[in-house]
Amino acid sequence: MTGVTDVAIAVVLGGALGTGGLLLLVLMPRWGAPGLERRIAPYIRDVTDPQGVTPLVGVSMPSVIWDRVQAGSAVFGGASDAVGRRLRQAGRRADEQGVAAYRARRLIWMLGGLVLGGLVTVGLVLSGRFSTPAVVVPVVAAAVGAVGCDALLARAARARVARVQEELPTVLEFLALCLSAGEGILDSLRRVGQVGAGELTAEIRAAVLAVGTGSTLAESLTAMARGLDIPALTRAVDHIVAALDRGAPLAHVLQAQAADAREDAKRALIEQAGRKEILMLLPLVFLILPLSVLFAVFPGVFMLRLGIG
């Protein structure tokens, strides 16, 4: 065996030994069990220090190292505002802890890609097909893992935003119906949250819950619209807040907003149909037409060859 093969075998054996040791450490109560502050935090949430200036007692070294690793990965993980907005649009936790958890998951994806790339490189070495460009395979795999994690989050955010846009006209019309029946705006929102099912109704339930805990209705609706960052929803919420401030009839405002939302949905559907039509032309131009020409020309060419022969 050559020296490179010996190094590859050593890397495989060392990686297996390190993975086994890490799994054993995770199974230990000191490492695997949640800390005391994490277990009692849900029960003393009202008296915890929101600024984080109170020194913690008994902070373990692994947690400190993990926090530093997360802080280092934040440099390559994008701005916190952009990550938080995508998390909020995807329906996930979007505060500082949620952003930190997402960056930790992204780091795990990067490490997984790095490990897979290292295994591929070791396999190339063991098979005798190693070349110098294969050295960058682990780095490329780690980058692919990070990009894949971001792509999955962006896809989830786009899918949820699309569902909210589809539900918006129906929700606005139901709110207008409740207001026309004599209910107040808060009672109408509460009824929509109780009766409806979907992404937007879940956001409305959260806004009503925020009103019950002390926030004003305008602040709750504005925070919901700002978090989802959907133009149609933001426009509807702005009109609702303006109508509440000026005392305008909300039923007519909501009916007009529902009509505008349906027009936006029709316009988006037409644009999507146009894009799909262009995509449908690709197999026609590059697959069906060449095959048709081949079927038409090949018999003639074959007969000409027979005649020449």
Lowest mean pLDDT among 34-43, 113-122, 136-145, 277-286: 34-43
- Confidence (pLDDT) at 55: 43
Lowest mean pLDDT among 56-60, 109-113, 237-241, 275-279: 56-60
- Confidence (pLDDT) at 212: 84
Give the model's confidence band at 219: pLDDT under 50 very low, under 70 low, under 90 confident, else very high.
confident
Which tens digits make up the pLDDT trace of 134-180?
A: 778 888 888 998 899 899 999 999 898 888 888 888 888 888 888 88
Length of the chain: 309
- Tokens for 64, please give them: 């400190």
Give the model's confidence band at 295: pLDDT under 50 very low, under 70 low, under 90 confident, else very high.
confident
DSSP label of 90:
T
Which residue is listed with tokens 């819950």?
A: 209
- Confidence (pLDDT) at 116: 87
pLDDT higher than threshold 50 for residue 183: yes
- Tokens for 273, please give them: 């149909």
- Confidence (pLDDT) at 87: 85
Which tens digits make up the pLDDT trace of 228-240?
A: 888 888 888 888 8
Which tens digits make up the pLDDT trace of 110-145?
A: 888 888 888 888 887 777 777 777 778 888 888 998
Short-list 82, 42, 81, 37, CA closest to 60: 37
pLDDT higher than threshold 50 for residue 56: no
- Confidence (pLDDT) at 308: 58
Q: Which stretches within 28-95 are classed as H helix?
A: 29-32, 36-40, 61-73, 80-89
- Confidence (pLDDT) at 74: 54
CA distance readout (Å), 136 to 118, 133, 140, 230, 308: 9, 6, 6, 41, 56
Return the higher-pLDDT residue of 10 and 122. Answer: 122
- What percentage of the chain has pLDDT greater than the value 70? 77
Cα–Cα dist 60/66, whole Å = 10
Cα–Cα dist 111/109, whole Å = 5
Range 37-46 average pLDDT:
63
Range 94-121 average pLDDT:
85
Range 293-305 average pLDDT:
81
Range 268-273 average pLDDT:
83
**Positive or negative: CA dihedral 286, 291, 292, 293:** positive
Return the higher-pLDDT residue of 96 and 50. Answer: 96
